[in-house]
Amino acid sequence: MSKQNIQLGPDGRLRHFLTIDGLSREILTDILDTAESFTGISERTVKKVPLLRGKVICNLFFETSTRTRTTFEVAAKRLSADVLNLNISTSSTAKGETLLDTLRNLEAMHVDMFVVRHADSGAAHFIARHAAPHVSVINAGDGHHAHPTQAMLDMFTIRRHKGDFAGLRVAIVGDILHSRVARSQILALNTLGTSEVRLIGPRTLLPADARSLGVHVYYDLDEGIRDVDVVIMLRLQKERMHGALLPSEHEYFQLFGLTESRLQHAKQDAIVMHPGPINRGVEIDSQVADGPRSVILQQVSFGIAIRMAVMSMAMGSQTQAAK
């Protein structure tokens, strides 16, 4: 069965959200538009709507997270769902319980949706394939494979600042090789019709088949960010690196760290993004991270609206199917 079939219900609507791969521009635009309708809720005195009242959402994070886990929880609560946060380190996983047995036990508690982060690529697909028919699965990051809600909150941020994707030049800088975020961003940017996507980094941190992803490749930061509208910086993902791919962090910063003077090569109104966590003085200088062109904390706020959109769309599709 294709990934697309797994993600979409029989009516073609989103049932699981596992990857950007195979999703149409219409579905991605629908997610962005739905998120747009949710942004105002954060400004209200009572920051809640009853869309998922009575639904149970379980956060299953087998890997560390600050932004993704908490914004999923805030988003679920704003939709009035009941939220379970399974603490993996104190769960029976530590006693040898398999992922499938954990899943079956949580399903027995009538969970309607799993939000999954896992170090293994494909873990969210695995859970989606084995979940009960009424259950939705959202991928919150699996290995180096995909982080689709991060990509969508990034697309939301770009659309808010720059409008249409046509005519935009977007640069993604750094450790592309180990980045699930970059993979999802490239797919989303291309699906949404971005004019030019550039990947910039040392040869050792760019995938060998980078050009087949529909991007332009640069090994020099000053050259690569020339005249771009958006600069997306990435963290060095040392937890996924095997062997020495870099001389030192200091040397990496000299060559690929974003500083104020380097940013002058981009367009004057270029925005600077980063999925977080940031490593100051490694991939980005504090002056840039905290500067006027940085939209890094806006990305976090928009993450709530995007996650509300994805969860409500997936649950809406399930409710429709149950009728």
**Residues of the shown chain interacting with ligand CP in the complex, contacts defined by CB under 6 A:** 65-68, 141, 150, 275-277
3-state helix, strand, coil in the chain (%, to 5): 45, 15, 40
How near is the Cβ of 125 to ligand CP at its closest, in Å? 18
Is 68 designated active site?
A: yes
Closest CA to 150 of 180, 116, 126, 118: 180
How near is the Cβ of 182 to ligand CP at its closest, in Å? 12
Is 48 designated active site?
A: no
Q: Which of 67, 77, 161, 162 is catalytic?
A: 67
Sheet with 82-86, side-by-side order of all strands: 82-86, 56-61, 113-118, 136-142
How near is the Cβ of 265 to ligand CP at its closest, in Å? 26
User: 3-class DSSP state for residue 104?
Assistant: helix
Strands 113-118 and 82-86: unpaired
How near is the Cβ of 151 to ligand CP at its closest, in Å? 10
Is 147 designated active site?
A: yes
How near is the Cβ of 173 to ligand CP at its closest, in Å? 16
- Specify the residue, 218 or 302, whose C-beta has the smaller distance to ligand CP: 302
Pinpoint the alpha helices (H) of the chain.
3-7, 25-38, 67-78, 99-107, 123-130, 148-162, 180-191, 221-224, 249-256, 260-263, 286-289, 296-322
Burial class of residue 250, CB neighbours in 10 A (0-12, 13-18, 19+): exposed
How near is the Cβ of 256 to ligand CP at its closest, in Å? 19
- Specify the residue, 209 or 239, whose C-beta has the smaller distance to ligand CP: 239
- Specify the residue, 8 or 152, whose C-beta has the smaller distance to ligand CP: 152
Structure tokens at 297: 């904390």
202, 246 in Cβ contact below 8 A? yes
Is 67 designated active site?
A: yes
Cα–Cα distances (Å) from 282 to 10, 32, 286, in that order, read 46, 32, 10
Sign of CA dihedral 52, 54, 55, 60: positive
For residue 275, cis peptide bond before it (omega within 30 degrees of 0):
no
- Specify the residue, 117 or 198, whose C-beta has the smaller distance to ligand CP: 117
- Specify the residue, 8 or 189, whose C-beta has the smaller distance to ligand CP: 189
Q: Which of 69, 144, 145, 147 is catalytic?
A: 147
- Specify the residue, 29 or 65, whose C-beta has the smaller distance to ligand CP: 65
How near is the Cβ of 307 to ligand CP at its closest, in Å? 11
User: 3-class DSSP state for residue 4?
Assistant: helix
Q: Which of 45, 90, 95, 323 is catalytic?
A: 95
CA separation for the pair 257, 254 (Å, rounded): 6
- Specify the residue, 68 or 318, whose C-beta has the smaller distance to ligand CP: 68
Element spanning 137, H or E: strand 136-142
Q: By beta-carbon distance, which residue lies closest to ligand CP? A: 68
Q: Which of 15, 69, 78, 117 is catalytic?
A: 117
Q: Which of 16, 19, 68, 183 is catalytic?
A: 68
173, 232 in Cβ contact below 8 A? yes
Catalytic residue set: 67-68, 95, 117, 147
